[in-house]
C-alpha cells in the first residue's frame, strides 16, 4: 500500500483527492492546519466506505512540516507520494499589488512546496523511488490578467517542478505537474474581490468574467482528483497534466500565440473586442449567455 501525503486536504481538490485515493487503496495522510476543519473530509471518506488520516501541517511553518513528515516516517515508514496542493489566490494588477500580502501568496504557493518537498526527499532518495505531484494552474502557463502575484507564484511552481524533475530523476523519483483550469472549489468565492479604487477596472472585469464563465461549466474538484490519480498510475508518465475547464485550451493556445498577439489582446478597447479576441486566441467563449 502506497503512502501519500496531501497538503490542503480540508477542502476542494485536496479533499476530493484524499477521498479518491483512499478508496483506491492508498494510505492517505490528509494534511491541514486545523483538524477541526476535517469534518467534511471524514464524512466524505465514510460515505465512500474508506478511511483517511488527518494530520496537522502548516506549509508556511518549517517546524510544522518537518514534524508532520517525521511523525509519518517514524510511525509508518517513508512516504511514496507527496501531493503539494495547498494554495491561495490573490487578485491584483502590478500597480495595485500590496507587496506584503503578495509575499504571503508566495510563502504558501511556492515556499510551501519547497518546504514539503525538502522534508520528504531524503527518504525517497534512500528508498530509490517516490512521486512528487505539484498542483499548479493554467495561470502557471498563461499570465492571468489581474492576477499577477498568483500567476507569478504558479509560474515559479512550474519552473521549480522542471528543475526538480531533472534533479531527482537519477534517484528514481518522479515529478508531475497538474494544471487545472477553472474548478468548482472554495477558492473561487474567496477570491472575487480586487483592489479599489483602481485604474485597472477593465482587466479585473475581464478576469472575473473569465472565472464566471468557467464556474458555469461546473467542473467539480473530483474531476481534477481523477486526473491526479491518473498521473500516479500513468504507464507512460508525462510531466504536465492540464485539466478542468479551459485547461487544454489555454495551455495549448498560449504556446501558439506570439508575443505581439499577446500584447494586442491586452490592448483591446472594449470588453466585447476582448472577448472576441480571446476566443480567437484560445477557442474559449467567455461571454455569459445573456450577453
Active site residues: 136, 150, 154
Task: Please give the Cα distance from 14 to 88 (Å, whole number).
Answer: 13
Q: Which residue has the cell 485547461?
A: 247
**Quick one: DSSP state of residue 218?**
T
Contacts of 248 (CB under 8 A, 6+ apart): 242
**H or E segment and range at residue 131:** strand 130-135
What HEC string does 75-114 produce? HHCCCCEEEECCCCCCCECHHHCCHHHHHHHHHHHHHHHH
Residues 16, 26: Cα–Cα separation, whole Å: 14
- Cell representation of residue 7: 497538503
Task: Report the chain's C-alpha Rg in angstroms.
Answer: 19
Cα–Cα distance list, 31 to 12, 114, 244, 283 (Å): 13, 16, 24, 37
Q: What are phi and psi of 130, to 5 degrees?
A: 160, 165
| 96 CB neighbour count, 10 Å cutoff | 18
What DSSP state is assigned to residue 162? H
Amino acid at each position: 500500500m502506497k503512502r501519500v501525503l496531501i497538503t490542503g486536504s480540508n477542502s476542494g481538490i485536496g479533499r476530493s483527492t484524499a477521498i479518491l485515493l483512499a478508496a483506491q487503496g492508498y494510505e492517505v495522510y490528509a494534511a491541514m492546519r486545523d483538524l477541526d476543519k476535517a469534518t467534511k473530509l471524514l464524512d466524505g471518506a465514510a460515505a465512500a466506505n474508506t478511511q483517511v488520516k488527518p494530520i496537522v501541517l502548516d506549509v508556511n511553518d518549517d517546524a510544522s512540516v518537518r514534524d508532520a513528515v517525521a511523525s509519518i516516517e517514524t510511525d509508518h515508514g517513508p512516504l511514496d507520494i507527496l501531493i503539494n496542493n495547498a494554495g491561495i489566490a490573490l487578485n491584483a494588477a502590478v500597480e495595485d499589488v500590496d507587496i506584503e500580502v503578495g509575499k504571503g501568496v508566495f510563502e504558501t504557493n511556492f515556499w510551501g512546496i519547497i518546504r514539503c518537498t525538502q522534508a520528504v526527499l531524503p527518504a525517497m532518495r534512500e528508498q530509490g523511488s517516490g512521486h512528487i505531484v505539484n498542483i499548479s494552474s493554467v495561470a502557471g502557463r498563461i499570465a492571468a490578467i489581474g492576477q499577477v502575484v498568483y500567476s507569478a507564484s504558479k509560474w515559479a511552481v512550474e519552473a521549480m517542478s522542471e528543475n526538480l524533475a531533472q534533479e531527482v530523476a537519477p534517484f528514481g523519483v518522479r515529478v508531475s505537474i497538474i494544471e487545472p483550469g477553472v474548478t468548482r472549489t472554495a477558492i473561487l468565492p474567496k477570491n472575487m474581490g480586487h483592489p479599489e479604487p483602481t485604474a485597472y477596472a477593465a482587466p479585473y472585469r475581464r478576469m472575473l468574467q473569465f472565472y464566471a464563465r468557467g464556474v458555469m461549466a461546473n467542473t467539480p474538484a473530483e474531476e481534477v482528483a481523477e486526473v491526479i490519480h491518473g498521473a500516479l498510475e500513468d504507464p507512460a508518465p508525462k510531466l504536465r497534466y492540464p485539466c478542468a475547464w479551459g485547461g487544454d485550451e489555454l495551455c495549448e493556445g498560449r504556446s501558439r500565440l506570439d508575443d505581439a498577439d499577446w500584447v494586442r489582446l491586452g490592448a483591446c478597447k472594449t470588453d466585447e473586442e476582448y472577448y472576441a479576441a480571446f476566443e480567437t486566441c484560445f477557442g474559449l467563449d467567455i461571454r455569459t449567455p445573456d450577453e
